[in-house]
Structure 1
Amino acid sequence: MSSGDELASAAATGDAERVARLLQDGASVDAVNRFGRTPIQVMMMGSTAVAQLLLGHGANPNVQDSTGTSPLHDAAREGFLDIVRILCSFHANPHLLDMWERRPVDLARERGHQEVVAFLQSL
């Protein structure tokens, strides 16, 4: 398993201890896994500890997949306000558009996540 796969796997399962260990051992925070995605793109959305670790080690909060979806799009769509706040505190761009020309706030609004909508509109 490549270091990108290992770190992405740890991030996806919310294993903050393993993420910290891999980063400490020199894993590249923006290494792509075998599916072409970075750990921040596949992290368990409810894991604030993993988000803090990855972003604190320089993960790019504005990385977009082939559809233009960023981690902020994902967090906003699913209603993870704490993750939205953390991403924004590390300069995630709330104005990025996906391929359907939707911003993260648009996805939060579609799903009825009013706290997320209010936060993103306050930026």
Structure 2
Amino acid sequence: MLDVGFQVNGIFAGHTPLQAAAQNGHLDIIRLLIQHHVNLEIEDKDGDRAVHHAAFGDEAEVLELLARSGADLNARNKRRQTALHIDVCKGHFDVCKTLLSNGAHPGIQDSDGDTPLHDAISKRRDDLIIILLEYNADVATCNNNGFNSIHHAALRGNSSAIELILSKIQNRQWLVDEKKDDGFTALHLSALNDHCLVAELLLTKGNASINAQNISLQTALHLAVGRQHLQIVNLLCSKNANVNLADKDGDTCLHEALRHHTLSQLKQLQDVGDSGRVYIYVKIMYGSIKKNSCRM
């Protein structure tokens, strides 16, 4: 067909022959098309090029061939996704490795601002997180919601991702306490969402600042008490969190506990705070509650 005027860059059913061959792993056809000077960078209606189609098809050998032939591995489709984004989301480890070893950039952001590392964290793929970190994916890059990779892992409760990231940023300890625009650190996010193992890793392996305050002057303990996350309250109190810090409204964690009737949390706070104050607050705000109720 190629000898009788076949158009190597023609569009058939919305795709070029190269795009179709790339997604289906037809290496011989791809080689033939390349010999006839096929355009490697034509986009379909979604902005996907041959490299994207190879990514969809989990075709590592095709991507290797396209890379050797000069295809742009960092090309982005209309969702601003690279082939690497696609393969991380689909869990195609071998293709991800091929892309990275051939120069694909691990830190390009899609239309949501997510990097492939954000996606790997969401998918809970430790193997992909490891290889992305090996190729120097930047954990400090923030998505459109202001989440860097540590924030994102804390939000998702991905403790293994937290551990892997902490092992790679020992010379950038400040990242553990990096704040979003609202002042939330990773520890705030783990406390808010009841991810106790994540919080423990941030404190023990990341040396997170336990008393860091957000723009509302809330600590992680304020948030854990407010959400009635007893396990996190216990963890933070056992690590000597300051129970007397006040938020922007002047409320301490004790005020917060009383507001939510969480007497079991009061017991945790009482163990590290002023038991006299606990009883006074209970007496003033809930006159019907007896002193023994706080002591359990």
TM-score scaled to structure 1, two decimals? Answer: 0.85
Q: How does 1:31-110 map to 2 (within 5 A)?
A: 31-33=75-77, 35-45=79-89, 46-110=91-155
Length, aligned pairs only: 123
Instruction: Mark the CA change 1:100 to 1:33 in structure 2 (over 3 Å): closer, same or farther.
Output: closer
- Contact 1:29–1:59 (Cα < 8 Å) also in 2: yes
Question: What corresponds to 1:112 in structure 2?
Answer: 157
Structure 2 counterpart of 1:29, from 51, 70, 73: 73
| Structure whose CA Rg is larger | 2
Instruction: Mark the CA change 1:76 to 1:65 in structure 2 (over 3 Å): closer, same or farther.
Output: same
- Contact 1:79–1:108 (Cα < 8 Å) also in 2: no
Unaligned runs of 5+ in 2: 1-15, 17-41, 169-296
- Contact 1:14–1:44 (Cα < 8 Å) also in 2: no
Q: How far has the Cα of 1:11 moved from its partner?
A: 1.3
TM-score scaled to structure 2, two decimals? Answer: 0.38
2-side partners of 1:34 and 1:71: how far apart?
A: 16
Q: Does 1:7 align with 2:61?
A: no
Instruction: Mark the CA change 1:111 to 1:8 in structure 2 (over 3 Å): closer, same or farther.
Output: same
Single out whichever of 85-94 and 31-40 deviates more from structure 2: 31-40
Q: CA RMSD in A?
A: 1.9
Give the % identical residues.
28
Aligned to 1:122, the other structure's residue is in SS state helix
